[in-house]
Structures are given as C-alpha cells and as structure tokens.
Structure 1
Amino acid sequence: MRLRSLESRVVTLFISLLLSLQLAGYFFIDRSIDDNARAQIESSLAFNEKIFLHLLEQNAQHLIEGATLLSKDYAFRQAIGTNDTQTMVSALLNHGERIKADLTMVVGLDGKIIVASSDTLAHGFQKSVYDLIKSATEKGSASSTDIVDGKPYQMVMVPVNAPVTISWVAMAIPIDRRLVNDMRELSAMQISIFTSKNNGPWMPNVSTLDEQEEYKLAALLPSAITKSTFIRDLNLNDDHYSERILPLAKNEKSATVAVLQLSINQAVAPYKKLQRNLLFLTILGGIIASIFSAITARRITNPVRQLAETARRLGTGDYKTTIDIKQNDEIGDLANSFSHMRDAIALREKEISRLAYWDNLTTLPNRALFTDMVDEAISVAKSRGNSCFVLMMDLDRFKHVNDVMGHRFGDVLLQQVALRLSAELGAGNSRPARLGGDEFAILLPATNVDQAQQLANRILLTLEQPISIEDQTVDISAGIGIAGYPDHANDTATLLSHAEVAMYAAKLAKNGAVLYSQTIDKSSQQSLSLLTEMRTALEQNHFQLYVQPKVSVISNEVVAVEALVRWFHPEKGMIFPDQFIPFAEQTGFIRQLTRWVMNAAAACCQQWQNAGINIKISVNISTRDLLDQELPEKFAEILQKNQVLPECFCLEITESAIMDDPVRAHLTLDKLHAMGMELSIDDFGTGYSSLAYLKRLPVDELKIDKSFVLKMEQDIDNTKIVKSTIDLGHNMGLRVVAEGIENAEVLALLKELGCDQAQGYFISKPMPAGNMPAWLERWKSNQTA
C-alpha cells in the first residue's frame, strides 16, 4: 500500500480519528483522575483534622474525668485539708498510674504547686497552671496543650471542693506515639508531630513515617505556622502527598505542630490500573481498526483505480474503452457518470474541433485553421520551388453599420460577404477565411504576384455591388493587403503580418489593394516609435503648456487665453502639434494628452489667481475625448485637486467631433455644461453639422475658423461669411470669437462687424504659460500709453 495512495489515506484517516479520540479520552481521564483524587484528599484531610482534634479533646475529657474522680476522693480531700503531703503524693501516684498520666499534682488556690508526682516535670508546667486556673474558675474545669522539655503535653485542671474550693488537681499526659497510632488506625493517613525550639528547624517527635521520610518532611515544612495550613502537592521519596499542618502548642521557646498526610499515588492507584486497561484496549482497538480500515479502503479504492485507468485512456483519446464496474452504491453511480462523460466528451471534442478551426458565423476557416493552411502552402512552395500569396481584407465603415443597424444586421452582412468571396473564388484550391471581426483572408497557393493582384481587383469589383438585407441596401468597400512567399516573407507569422500591414496601408490610402513593401512597414514602425516616444514624453514631462491670448474687440482687454501644447524632444528639439496631434487622435493617445493639458492649465489658473490674474482658459477637446462618458468626472477631479472653479474654463469642440457620434457627444457636453464650464464650437464653418442640431447644444461661443479670417480685408466673400457667422452667433445668443488675426486692418474690420473677441499673431504668438503675467503687464501698459 503506497504511502500517498487514497487507500493509505483512508486507513490513516480512520486510525488517526480513533487514536485521536482514544488519546484525548485517555488524557482527559488522567487529568480528571488526578483532579478528583486531589479534591477527595483535600476533603479527607479536612475531615481527618476534625477527627484528630476530636481525639485530642477525647483524651482531655478522659483526663478531666480521672482528675474529677481524684478530687472527690474523701481521703484525698482530708489529706489536702490536713496538709498530709505523704498521703497526697501516694494518691497522686496511684491515680496517675491508673489513668496513665505522666504527671499529677495538687495546686494551691494561689496557683503554686503544692505536691506533684514528679517535681522536675511539674516545674515546667508552672506557667500553664496559672492560665488553667483562670479558665477552670470560669468553666469548672479546663484543658490545654503545652510544651515541656521539647515535648507536647495535654494538661487538665479541676477544683477540689469541700464544699468550697480548697485546691486544684492537675494532670498531664504526653502527645506521643500512642495517640499517633490511634489516629493511623482510624484513617489511612500518615501523621507526624514536630517541635521547633527558639524558632529553629522543626524536629520530629513521633511519626508514622520512617525515619528518613520523617526528617525529610521536617526540612520541607514552613518556618512559621500560626494557623491550619493546606499544602496541595509535596514530593517525598518519589511519592506525592497532600497535607494539613495543625499548630498544637506554642510558647516563648517552642512550638509544636501536627502534620496530617495522604498519599496522592495511593489514592489514584486503583484508577491508574483502570487507565492502563483502557490504554491496552486502545492499542488492541487500533490494530483491529487498522485491519478493517485496510479492507474497507481496498474495496473503495479498487474501483477508483479502475476509473482512473479509464480516465487515462480517455485522456489519450480512447473513447471506446469499457467501464466494467457493477455496484449499487456511490461507486457504481460514479462509474455510470464516467460512462456518460466519455460519450459526452467524444461529442464535445468533435464540436470543439469544429469551433477551434471554423468560424461559427460564416462557416469559413478561422485564423487557427488559416494559419495551418498557410504553413502547409509554404511547405509545398518550398518543396516545389514556387510561390504562394495571401490576401488580407478589412471592410470599410463596418463599425458604422453595426452602430446604426445593430449587431444582428452586421452579422448578416458578414455572411453575405463570405458568400460573395466564396462565389468569386469558385470551387478551386482558393478558399476564404474569416480571421475575426470584419477581417477576411484568402490563401492563393502556387500563384504569382500578377494573379494575386488580379484576384484582389475582382474582389473589390464584386464588393462594389450593393448588398440588400431586410429592405436595406448597403454599399460596402474594403482595403486589401497582398503579401507573398518568398518575395515578402519566409514564414507564416511574418507573411500574415506583412499582409496586415499592407491592408492597413490600403485602408489609410483608400487605394483598394496594396502590395506589401518595406517602405510601408517602415512607416508603420515609425508610427509605433512615435507612440512610444509620446508616452515617454508624458512620463518625463517633455510636453510644455503654451497659451495664446484672446482680447475683447471693443475694449482691447485680455479676457481669455487658449491652452496649447508643445513637445520639446530631447534629441529632435521642438515638435509642433500638427506633427503629433493627428497621430495622437488616431491612436487614442489624445485622451491622455488632453488630461495632461487640462491638469497643467488648472495648475496655471491657480497660480494666476493667486497673483490676481483672473482670465478664462480655453482647452481643446477631441472626438475621442467626447466619446469618453467619464470625462466630466476626470475633469472634476482635476479641478478639485488644483482648487479652481469650472467657470474658469471654456472647452473648445470642433463640429466634426460632435457629429461623429451626436448622441454620446450631447450626453458628455450636457454633463460638462452642468458642471459650470463654458463650451465653444471651434473651427465653425468648416464642418457639415446641422444648425438645427447645433442650436440644441449647451454652447456659449462660436469660434470662426481662421481660413475665413485670414486676409478677409482683401476677400469680400470671406468678409460676408464672417459677418453672417457673427450675426448667426448673436442671434443664437452666443459669443463670437475670430482667430487668425494677423494685422490691424482685420482687427478693425471685425470691430465694425460686431465680433466679440479676437485671437491671432497680431495680438500675440503662443507663449509659454509662465511668460503670460509679464506679457499681460506689457499689454496693459501699451493700451494706456
């Protein structure tokens, strides 16, 4: 059984779960046994403490009864009354021996010992006698524990009445091994008596422990014990004990304590045996479970292995393999599912193969199949020493058809084009392919360049015939690029790339069909290089903001400036806008450039306002900018960043930019105007816009194209056009601006015609934005001079 196999994992899972549960139970039981044993021991020690104290009290009561019996003896009282010392001593000795007291004595009313069975021992009890007389006077009898010669004693005192108290009888017995053994018989605990002299170390008196344990325990006791103390865990010769320490007696020189102990090991021993049995059963259960798990896992994994082998055969394309698993369980269901999957995969692979190499819309070969066809054609051409050509075609204005008529109409148009191409090529070796979108390609094996160009021309003539779809007639045209092997490329990728370059050149030049040449490719590379350089210029701040002033025709006051962009290339020097703006619009880079100009103009506006210069800034907006529905939000972000108001800006839009997509342009302009920005129609008069549409736009200004303004003093027709435009703008409630002012005569003529503002080289050439404040001061000085 392999370690990483499913079978081994199933067995490992079962055994791991079993062992985890058993081990968790084992450790939980072990912890519970220990905690419960310690709790029971603590409770038992507290109970045994009461028993021990009760035993001491019982001994004291026994002494009191013996002393009371002696005090009531007539002869003894008579001896006390006659001060017969010999008779008193004899009675004390006899009675003390009868009750096993180490000391009996007669004490006078003044607390002094009159006679005693042992004068030496009696001397050590003198202080205790005084204390006991006080207590016995109140209670009738008294008992206490005292330490004499380093040993603890229990002592009692009772009065001798005749009938009034004439003296006291006191008796004392040691707390010795007899008491310890009695306590040991009553419970399973160990008990030890320790005495400390002059706050020194504890020394054992009597104990149920052996001598070594007794002295070790003495060394582990706390130095000062004033009350009953519980110690939870104390290690003594590899045995763990819980213990209670009871203070028995204490005087100026000595202290005595009793230590009650119960062994934790003995308490948990019966449970440990049960725990070992549980561990044994766990091991046995693990072995049995391993055997049954292995059997169960094998029953599960054998069919799975068969299904895995079937899956490997399916992966190699063998869809005829049989699945011989007959089980009425989940494995059987899985086998049936495999069988259905095998059939479904076979069908789906056929469909995928069709989709991978054939266009679903036109049923023509797609790019992948066409590439394979070109590979094969080149191989054949190499082996035979001839050539092959590729025609790549892209329809003109197809996007416009899609936008106006809808995508379904566009799909039908593509199908019709495919049919026309197939009909033109006939049933020969040539077959068209659809590479994507409105792009088609045709492979011409064993063909020369003249034949390729002739076919391209025939296709263009075929496409010139209008196509009728759903009562709509569509005129279409196309650009065709031609490239061949070995004239233009030696491999498929290069051949297709060169054909595509030629196709775009044909569309750009509107020249129908173009044969590939290195000149075309170099131009494409230059365009790509220009785009890269513009991106670098934007990142490295090579663009600069220029401005050209606008003045009021009536007052000659500077009322606005137009923001312009200049490119200072680190190697090529100044690059003028007409060299890169059209390309930026074509590639879409114009959006990034417009945002840069707007940001630079807003920053400049803020600086001028801080300097007290409040003039409006006009910024040009391209067609691609108008199609960006997020343009208002982008401008608002720039204005907020630079802390300037929208009213400080006028956006200039050409007529053609508006009319490329009027609906989207109108939406964008409405949002910009709602922000507070003014809008201007730039180059007015050169487009083909409808005045009925323009009057609905939220514009504030018309800007007459400079082609009508230049030399208008010499051309009466241009003057009429300018006057009509000024009148039209005023009638529509718009401000009119004329650009291209290059002399004083034109400026004077515009003033007569009622033009509002003027802009041109006569007023000022475009200048860096930083030079504007100084120029403005000079302009004001010249006007007041």
Structure 2
Amino acid sequence: MIHLRLPRLQLRLVAICLSLLFAVQAGGYLLIHRSLERNARAEVDTRLGAAAEVAQRLFAERQVELHRLADRLDDDIYFVNAWHVGSAERLAAALRRSQADADAVQVLVLDAALGTRAQVPVGRAWTVPSWKDWLGRIEPGRDSGARLSPRIELLDSDPLTGRAGLRLWIAAPVRASGDAGWITKAVTLDDALLARMRDLAHTELAVLVRRPQAPGWEVRAATLPAGLRAALAEQWAGDDAAQELKLGGAGYRSRFLALAGIGGKADERTQIVLLASVDEALAPYAAMKWTLAGLGVLGLAVFGAGAWLTARRITQPLRELAVSARRLSVGDYEEPVTLKSQDEIGELAQAFETMRQAVSQREAEIRRLAFRDALTDLPNREQFRQDLRRAIAASLARNAACSIVMLDLDRFKHVNDVLGHRFGDRLLKIVAQKLRDEVLGTGDVLARLGGDEFVILLPRTDAQEAMATAQRILRVFERPLTLDDNTVDLGAG
C-alpha cells in the first residue's frame, strides 16, 4: 500500500477537503448513474410491453377482420350462390363485392366427408395441395355441429401455393346455407412484415424457431442485421419474460410473444422477440451525465481554491509562530509575538507571547545571577574579572594607566556574630550603597568579591589617583553606621 505523505499542513488540509468532496460527488454521481440506468431500463420495459400489445393487437385485428368478412359473406346471396356452384371466378367476384383483398384471401369449401368437394382457391395461386390433415386440426367441434371459431395457425409454407416461408395462417369459419367451410388468409412472417411492425411498435423484432432436433434457436426473420441475428440466436434462452442481451457491443432488453409450433406441432417452439436498445434509451441522459461531470470538476476546482485559501489562513499564523519559536530557540527574546487573531490560533499566539516574556525574564534573571551579587546587586567576581580584562586591554591600547582598589571591612565578623547574619547582610547593602554614592566616579566599577571584600576598578587612573580614592574610602568609614537603632563602628582596610 502506498502512503502519500504531504510535507505541508496546507497541502494536507486541501487534500483532505478535496478527497471528501470527491468521495461525496463520486457517490452522488454513482447513485444518479444507477438511477438513470434503472429509469432507462424501466422505460425500455414499458416500451416493450406497449410494443407487445401492438403486435398482439395487429394479429388479433387480422383475425377479427377476417371473422367479420366471414359474417358478411354468410349473408351475401352472391357469395352463397358461388359457394354452392363451386366457381372460383364467382367466389372471387363475390369477395371483391365484399371489398376483400381477393389476392390474399382464399375460400375453402368442404362437406361432411372432409374433402370430397374440391378446395376452391381464390387469387393468383391455383396449385391446391392436400388440406385434409390441416383441416382435421382446425375443425374441433365439427362433428358435434358446434359453431367453428376463428383460428391462427403457424405454417412452414403456404398450404395453397406450397411456397416456403414462415406464415401465420388465419382461418375464420363461414356457413353458406348450412354448408360449413373456411375463409382463410396467410400472413407471411418475413423481414418486410417485421419492418412494418417495427415502424408501429418502435422496437426491433425477430421470429425465432426451435425444433426438437436442432441444438438451438433459429432466426427465421428479423429487423436486425445478419451479425446481430447470429448473436441473438446464440444468446436467446426463451424462458424469461425479459432478458438482458449484448448484441454487437450494445445492450438490449427483450420480451417475446409465444406462438404455436409450426403446423400445430407441440414439440416445436416459435417466438416473436421484441428488442429495445438500452444504450439508445440512455443516450438522452448522456448530456446530463457530462453536465454533472463538468459541474463536479468545476465544483472541485472552486472548492479546492476555497480550501487552499482557508488552509492558508490557518497555516500562515502557524508559520509565523514557527518563526517566533525558532527565534526563541536561539535566545532572541526581544521581538514580541504580535499575531492578532480572535480564534484558537490567536490564543496560541498569546500563549507564545506569554512564554516569550517568561523565558526572557528568567533568562535575564539567570544572567543577572551569573554576573551580579544577589545581596548587593553589585557585579560579582566573574563579572569583575571580565570588566578588568576589558579595562586592561583598553589601557594597553591607549598606553594609559589602570588601577584597582581592594578593601575589606574591619570588625564585620564580630557584628555578624553579635547581631546575626540577617543584620550583617543588611549592613553590607548599606556599605555598598555608600561606596556607590560617595566614592565611585564616572566609569568606575564597584564589585563584591565575596563576604566583606569589595574591589573598585578605576580605568584611566594612575597610582596617585588610586591612593586618593583609597583615602576617600577610609574617610567614609570613619563615621559610624546606624541601622535599627544600632550604631556600628566599622573600618576598612
């Protein structure tokens, strides 16, 4: 697994914000995409259902139309006479009088013996094959004298002409003066008929036949190209009311209308398959999806810019605090932290400033304790050593004199023993103050070496001037010191 580690907080904040937004957008886009696909499939299924109703209605209307023609012929005296005479010419004329398509309608006349009277074809084709077996199948109730019902039969060839080709054979019973027979019409199930049905149903159609001895389905007619027909025959299962097929790389939804076996054979299956492209149903939504994708990219860009500015507002004060922390780390306590903000970062900056002041004070105190005497606040031995070194260097550079005067207090130990160390400490402070006020000149340095020992550095002073300073010190201590109603007589040497 690859872990992306961004070195800057600003980049990490932007990356997190964009990742969250992208996840939300991707989830929303996926939901919309699936919803559109469901809507498209539902639309396709609705269209297939409507197309199936249209196809069924077309076949039913052909049957009803022929049945109505049979009813009209029952009452037509010219047709009845032609029926009994058995004249094809007179039957054709009677059909034309009834406004029927004589080229597509055939009349079959038969008696109770089934076929002793000749079948009478009407139209262009005059070759008459044997109809006995077919008539036996389509005449249930003939012997009982019941009224015959309209029938639809699927045949592999035209019973009258013998021409090959899958046909829907529609038959309607007709009675002419009590002599029963059939008026029939053949509808060829070919590519041309399916193309006309496609224009009405707005779906692709195919007629598939499966014979017992065949390994699979056979496409007998279709509105599909040849390449897609083979794919349809290979993929078609024929058992589901709706199937999802992949034909030529495009997705199709399907429904079928089941027909009887060819010639009434129960072991054969024939289906009219209706197909509608899912890709075509999704095509109107393609622009919407591209628009959503564009808006998503634009949203990412705008949100990314906003996240960058927001992250910058967060990280810029942090960078300033980091600079202040680096200054503190090298001992620079002079520049204050001046970040002005009312949020948590402002509180952090204020805490930094408080820390800077505290550290600066402690640093100053440490420095003072390292080079100043804690009791008298005079330079201590270390500070005096440094001052002396600089004074000697300066004197050598100018070829001038430099002097020091050292002194200690007489009888100070006795005062400590009698009046206590606390009193002695206060007395040392008074001594230091008197030396500063009455002895030191400009540029002179007074230091406490420890205990009751003091030293005075006199730059640019020769021995004679140093002796004069020593005399002033002695005169200062000739006068007794008063502290807490106690008079102390100290001397200096």
- TM-score (ref. length: structure 1): 0.40
Query: How many Å separate the matches in 2 of 1:294 and 1:86?
Result: 94
- Matches for 1:350-749 after TM superposition, within 5 Å: none
1:672 corresponds to which residue? none
Query: How many Å separate the matches in 2 of 1:269 and 1:86?
Result: 57
Residue 278 of structure 2 is aligned to residue 275 of structure 1: no
Corresponding residue to 1:105 among 75, 97, 108: 108
**Structure with the larger RCO, 1 or 2 (CA within 8 Å, 6+ apart):** 2
2:140 corresponds to which residue? 134
Query: How many Å separate the matches in 2 of 1:208 and 1:120?
Result: 31
Q: Sequence identity, in percent?
A: 27
1:63 corresponds to which residue? 66
Query: How many Å separate the matches in 1 of 2:229 and 2:105?
Result: 26
- What per-residue deviation string (whole Å, max 9, x for no partner) do you get for residues 7-29 of structure 1? 11122122222222222222221
Query: How many Å separate the matches in 2 of 1:18 and 1:90?
Result: 80
Query: How many Å separate the matches in 2 of 1:139 and 1:344?
Result: 117
Query: How many Å separate the matches in 2 of 1:61 and 1:313?
Result: 102
- Matches for 1:231-250 after TM superposition, within 5 Å: 231-250=242-261
Corresponding residue to 2:10 among 2, 7, 28: 7
User: Which consecutive residues of structure 2, in runs of 5 or more, have no partner in the other structure?
Assistant: 158-164, 367-420, 426-493
Aligned partner of residue 119 in structure 2, secondary structure: strand
Structure 2 counterpart of 1:190, one-letter code:
E
Corresponding residue to 1:24 among 19, 24, 27: 27
Query: How many Å separate the matches in 1 of 2:289 and 2:254?
Result: 26
Aligned partner of residue 46 in structure 1, secondary structure: helix
Structure 1 counterpart of 2:183, one-letter code:
A
Verify the 8 A CA contact 1:191 1:208 in the aligned structure 2. yes
Query: How many Å separate the matches in 1 of 2:112 and 2:99?
Result: 21
User: Which consecutive residues of structure 1, in runs of 5 or more, have no partner in the other structure?
Assistant: 353-422, 428-785
Return the offset for 1:195: 3.1
Change (3 A) 1:88 1:13: same
Verify the 8 A CA contact 2:171 2:184 in the aligned structure 1. yes
Q: How many residues align?
A: 348
Aligned partner of residue 340 in structure 2, secondary structure: coil
Corresponding residue to 2:119 among 115, 119, 137: 115
Return the offset for 1:168: 1.4
Change (3 A) 1:11 1:77: same
Query: How many Å separate the matches in 2 of 1:90 and 1:99?
Result: 8
Structure 2 counterpart of 1:180, one-letter code:
L
Change (3 A) 1:84 1:285: closer
Return the offset for 1:59: 1.3
2:75 corresponds to which residue? 72
Return the offset for 1:216: 3.0
Residue 232 of structure 2 is aligned to residue 217 of structure 1: yes
Corresponding residue to 2:167 among 127, 152, 162: 152
Aligned partner of residue 134 in structure 1, secondary structure: coil
Corresponding residue to 1:170 among 155, 168, 183: 183
Return the offset for 1:96: 9.6
Return the offset for 1:262: 0.5
Aligned partner of residue 114 in structure 1, secondary structure: coil
Verify the 8 A CA contact 2:174 2:182 in the aligned structure 1. yes
Verify the 8 A CA contact 1:66 1:99 in the aligned structure 2. no
- What per-residue deviation string (whole Å, max 9, x for no partner) do you get for residues 195-214 of structure 1? 34554243333322223322
1:288 corresponds to which residue? 302
Aligned partner of residue 146 in structure 1, secondary structure: strand
Verify the 8 A CA contact 2:55 2:201 in the aligned structure 1. no
Change (3 A) 1:100 1:343: farther
Corresponding residue to 2:208 among 183, 186, 194: 194
Change (3 A) 1:197 1:316: same
- What per-residue deviation string (whole Å, max 9, x for no partner) do you get for residues 159-210 of structure 1? 3142xx2121221222434542343122321111233455424333332222
Aligned partner of residue 67 in structure 1, secondary structure: helix
Verify the 8 A CA contact 1:89 1:115 in the aligned structure 2. no
Verify the 8 A CA contact 2:151 2:171 in the aligned structure 1. yes
Return the offset for 1:138: 4.6
1:489 corresponds to which residue? none
- What per-residue deviation string (whole Å, max 9, x for no partner) do you get for residues 538-559 of structure 1? xxxxxxxxxxxxxxxxxxxxxx
Return the offset for 1:264: 0.5
Verify the 8 A CA contact 2:74 2:175 in the aligned structure 1. yes
Return the offset for 1:93: 8.9
Query: How many Å separate the matches in 2 of 1:103 and 1:84?
Result: 13
Verify the 8 A CA contact 1:145 1:155 in the aligned structure 2. yes
Verify the 8 A CA contact 1:243 1:262 in the aligned structure 2. yes
Query: How many Å separate the matches in 1 of 2:169 and 2:35?
Result: 42
- TM-score (ref. length: structure 2): 0.61
Query: How many Å separate the matches in 1 of 2:103 and 2:361?
Result: 113
Query: How many Å separate the matches in 2 of 1:103 and 1:79?
Result: 14
Verify the 8 A CA contact 2:110 2:118 in the aligned structure 1. yes
Aligned partner of residue 98 in structure 1, secondary structure: coil
2:324 corresponds to which residue? 310
Return the offset for 1:65: 1.9
1:690 corresponds to which residue? none
Verify the 8 A CA contact 2:110 2:180 in the aligned structure 1. yes
Corresponding residue to 1:261 among 250, 275, 283: 275
Structure 2 counterpart of 1:116, one-letter code:
V
Verify the 8 A CA contact 1:190 1:262 in the aligned structure 2. yes
- What per-residue deviation string (whole Å, max 9, x for no partner) do you get for residues 482-519 of structure 1? xxxxxxxxxxxxxxxxxxxxxxxxxxxxxxxxxxxxxx
Structure 2 counterpart of 1:168, one-letter code:
G
Query: How many Å separate the matches in 2 of 1:347 and 1:100?
Result: 120
Residue 345 of structure 2 is aligned to residue 337 of structure 1: no
Aligned partner of residue 139 in structure 2, secondary structure: helix
Return the offset for 1:42: 2.3
Change (3 A) 1:260 1:216: same
